[in-house]
Amino acid sequence: MTPPISNDHGRLGELLQQAGMLTPEQVTRIAAAQAEQGLRFGEAAIRLGLLTEEQIRTVLAQQFRYAISASPQSGVSSTLSIAHAPFDSEAEAIRRIRTQLSLRFGEQRRIAFAVVSPDDGEGKSYLAASLAIAFSQAGLRTLYIDADMRGPDRPSLLGVRQATGLSTMLAGRAHAAASPPLPDFPLLQVIDRGPRPPNPTEILGTTGLRQLMRELEQHIDAFVVDTPSAILSADAQIIAGQVGACVLVARQHRSSLKAMREATGQLRSAGVEILGAVYNEFGGARGASARKPGLRSRSA
């Protein structure tokens, strides 16, 4: 279904021309079809075969100041639908989870949670990065912290790699500081994991992460913290314990009930509030997807 589009074809046509999607002659042609057939400007452009729905939605997002990743050179991973295709079903699933989390935090001044899964490859980092973007799109000053100091070197989902990161900050070799806001997402900042240390559990075992968040909380409304696998080390338990709350992620045909129960027990023993669990399906157009989305309360 074509999204609602303003009847003011002049403004929309101007934006489309500035984006290089239409020529002045094409705008005139679309306006004529709009008048003759009683269509909205975008509907007429699509019917004439000059634009796609996704192109229209991208320009509308810019028109209404809804942050999206407008350029492939932004560094933000193309797997993150919430950044690149914010009106598709995967992005809508992320927004639904964001809403449920916001309701769970209620009137609290600040949102802070870790994203935890029993094992690697279950969509945990995808969900964490997606939710960080989603909270920033909702107008919250958001900080994404990559606290996985065990995983292999990999491209950052948000396009940020720092020589000075969380590991150097927790080791006392750098002050607490986030990256500059992402170019396409002005309310989103990142603390990368930094150089991989030989002793991540010991570095995380201090109260440094909690203190770092306290130092930054005056400028941050939402903290989203990515973690390593919960069953391979104590790191996720330590991280979530300092953050105070977490979301569990399970993957279809991969996560076992035994592993989920083990992770849940570890987290509860650390006094972590488990906000709920997300059942994650893979195989979406962009990678991980939440085709059965929603934050589900855990009672076991």
Residue 173 and residue 154: Cα distance in Å, rounded?
23
Between 106 and 290, the more confident residue is: 106
Residue 231 and residue 211: Cα distance in Å, rounded?
25
Position 134 scores a pLDDT of: 97
Position 65 scores a pLDDT of: 67
Q: Which of 5-9, 75-79, 241-245 has the weakest average pLDDT? A: 5-9
Residue 184 and residue 187: Cα distance in Å, rounded?
9
Position 155 scores a pLDDT of: 72
Position 282 scores a pLDDT of: 56
Res 238 pLDDT > 90? yes
Residue 56 and residue 59: Cα distance in Å, rounded?
5
> Where do the domains of the chain lie?
9-63, 74-289
Share above pLDDT 70 across residues of the chain, in percent, rounded to a whole number: 87
Res 67 pLDDT > 90? no
Res 59 pLDDT > 80? no
Res 146 pLDDT > 80? yes
pLDDT tier, 275 (very low <50, low <70, confident <90, very high otherwise): very high
Res 276 pLDDT > 80? yes
Position 17 scores a pLDDT of: 81
- Dihedral sign computed on CA atoms, order 208, 214, 220, 226: positive
Q: What angle do CA 22, 27, 29 make, to 5 degrees?
A: 120
Per the prediction, the chain carries an average pLDDT of 85
- DSSP code for 143: E
Between 106 and 56, the more confident residue is: 106
pLDDT in tens, 175-215: 888 999 998 899 999 999 999 999 999 999 888 999 999 99
Work out the number of other CB atoms within 10 angstroms of the CB of residue 96: 15
Cα–chain center distance at 59: 21
Are 131 and 101 in contact by the 8 Å Cβ rule? The answer is yes
**For 20-37, what is the mean pLDDT?**
89
Q: Which of 1-5, 179-183, 271-275 has the weakest average pLDDT? A: 1-5
Q: Which of 3-12, 112-121, 220-229, 231-240 has the weakest average pLDDT? A: 3-12
Q: Which residues pair with 248 in a beta bridge?
A: 116, 277
CATH superfamily of this structure's domain 74-289: P-loop containing nucleotide triphosphate hydrolases (3.40.50.300)
Position 213 scores a pLDDT of: 96
Phi-psi region of 214 (alpha: psi -120 to 50; beta: other; left: phi over 0): alpha
- Retrieve residue 229's tokens: 């696998």
Q: Which of 16-20, 217-221, 231-235, 289-293 has the weakest average pLDDT? A: 289-293
Work out the number of other CB atoms within 10 angstroms of the CB of residue 44: 23
**For 56-63, what is the mean pLDDT?**
70
Res 54 pLDDT > 90? no
**For 137-153, what is the mean pLDDT?**
91
Position 70 scores a pLDDT of: 66
Q: Does pTM top 0.85 for this prediction?
A: no
Position 1 scores a pLDDT of: 41
Between 293 and 214, the more confident residue is: 214
Are 96 and 133 in contact by the 8 Å Cβ rule? The answer is no
Spatial neighbors of 275 by CB under 8 A, at least 6 apart, are: 101, 104, 113, 245, 246, 247, 295
